[in-house]
Structure 1
Amino acid sequence: MARVSQEHLDARRRQILDGATRCFARNGFHATSMQDVLKEVDLSAGAVYRYFSGKEELIGAIVTEVLDEVRDAFEEGARQSPPPPPDVLVGWVMNKMLNLKPELTPEGVSIHPRLIIQVWGETLRNPELAAVINEGYAKVSGVWEKVVEAYQEAGMMRDDVSPESLARTMIALTQGFLAQMALFGPIPVETLQDGLRGLMSMGEPGTRS
């Protein structure tokens, strides 16, 4: 019997993850069964269970992948010296993330924000998933802290700002924007960038015309 190539195995795993992501984004984790996933990817149970032991493992794999994508995107943007200002960097990363999974829900919303909202809810009842989220958050926060340090070294940001504080603020900002997209429908990323530029332009009273 011919050996199955690694490329084939990787492609099949990708097929399963993408199909499960679409199912979870449409109907949520609890309303989606493994039978729904099997139907979505058009594979037998044996083919799917070769890669994932069940729904919980699928969810963990999807969450880990999304968090790694976020971290990698920020790391890529932050490699510039100095990094681009926050509005440019956040906009670039957000657009890249949304384009990684361009599928839309029936309501016209990108599946990525909707999936992320469901992950947050699931985290409250799933300690294993909470551990994955915490690890991913720490990685993304670490990247943002390096970006802040680079801003400070380049004289782009006051040096009495705590890198950890700003990292938490920027993560909260992007989380809130994704929540708005999931709850209220499509919002241009430029809206977030314009708001950031407005905040960044503030000075002491009377210093702006």
Structure 2
Amino acid sequence: MARVSQEHLDARRRQILDGAALCFARNGFHATSMQDVLKEVDLSAGAVYRYFAGKEELIAAIVAETIDIVGEIYDQAARQSPPPLPHVVIPAIMARMREVRPGTLDGGEWMFPRLMLQVWTETLRNPELAAVLRPGFDRIRTAWVKLVQRYKDAGLIAADADADAMARALIAMVQGFGTQMAMFGDVTEQTLGEGLRAVISMRDPGSESE
């Protein structure tokens, strides 16, 4: 019997994950069955179950992969000197996700924002998925804290700025923007970048010396 190459195994796993992601984005977690996934990827049950035991493992793998990609982008940004500002970093993350998950729904809209909204909703009732998502959130938050510290070191923000609070606020911007994309679909990464650039250019008149 011919031995299956690792390249073939990786490609098959990628095929299953991409197909499942489209199904979840299109119809939601609960309305999607494993039969829907099998049909989407055009594989037998045995071929799919060789990699994933069920929907929970599929969604957990998708979440873990996404967190790894996003976390690495933040880590790379923190290593740059000077570090790129949020209005550069965040749109770059969205652009990278378009490269990794370019799938579109039947109406032509990008499926990734809807997928993430489905995941966040599912964590409210699924403690196992919440347990997967929490360490990922902590990793991204920690990466942002490091990046904020680099902003401090470069003199770009006040030395007494609360790094954790700023990290959470920036994450919330990404989450909110993703929700807008999922629900309305008429915004782009460029819109987010321009909005963030305008926000960080604001000056507090009360802090200026007379």
Normalised TM-score (structure 2): 0.94
1:68 maps to 2:64: no
1:20 maps to 2:20: yes
CA distance in 1, matches of 2:145, 2:110: 28
Q: CA deviation at 1:178?
A: 0.3
Does 54-63 or 73-82 show the bigger shift?
A: 73-82
User: Counterpart in 2 of 1:124?
Assistant: 124
The answer to whether the 8 A contact 1:149-1:163 is kept is yes
CA distance in 1, matches of 2:207, 2:154: 24
CA distance in 1, matches of 2:162, 2:107: 40
CA distance in 2, matches of 1:202, 1:118: 34
SS at match of 2:165: helix
Q: CA deviation at 1:92?
A: 1.5
- The code of the aligned residue for 2:137 comes to Y
CA distance in 2, matches of 1:45, 1:148: 47
User: Counterpart in 1 of 2:94?
Assistant: 94
- Structure 1: state its 5+ residue gaps: none
Q: CA deviation at 1:185?
A: 1.0
User: Counterpart in 2 of 1:36?
Assistant: 36
Identity of aligned residues (%): 58
- The code of the aligned residue for 1:183 comes to M
Runs of 4+ aligned structure 1 residues displaced above 6 Å come to none
Q: CA deviation at 1:107?
A: 3.0
User: Counterpart in 2 of 1:180?
Assistant: 180
- Structure 2: state its 5+ residue gaps: none
Output the aligned Cα RMSD.
Answer: 1.6
CA distance in 1, matches of 2:128, 2:25: 20
The answer to whether the 8 A contact 1:77-1:83 is kept is yes
Cα distance per residue 1:17-56 (max 9 Å; x no partner)? 1111111111111111111111111111111111111111
Q: CA deviation at 1:207?
A: 9.4
SS at match of 1:53: coil
User: Counterpart in 2 of 1:79?
Assistant: 79
User: Counterpart in 2 of 1:189?
Assistant: 189
1:2 maps to 2:20: no
User: Counterpart in 2 of 1:105?
Assistant: 105
CA distance in 1, matches of 2:106, 2:9: 31
- The code of the aligned residue for 1:40 comes to E
CA distance in 1, matches of 2:187, 2:93: 15
Q: What is the aligned length?
A: 208
Q: CA deviation at 1:82?
A: 2.0
The answer to whether the 8 A contact 2:77-2:147 is kept is no
- The code of the aligned residue for 2:72 comes to D
SS at match of 1:106: coil
- The code of the aligned residue for 2:30 comes to H
CA distance in 1, matches of 2:95, 2:144: 18
Q: CA deviation at 1:81?
A: 1.3
Structure 2 CA distance for partners of 1:146 and 1:206, relative to 1, 3 Å: closer
CA distance in 2, matches of 1:158, 1:107: 45
CA distance in 2, matches of 1:204, 1:41: 54
The answer to whether the 8 A contact 1:17-1:58 is kept is yes
Q: CA deviation at 1:206?
A: 8.6
Normalised TM-score (structure 1): 0.94
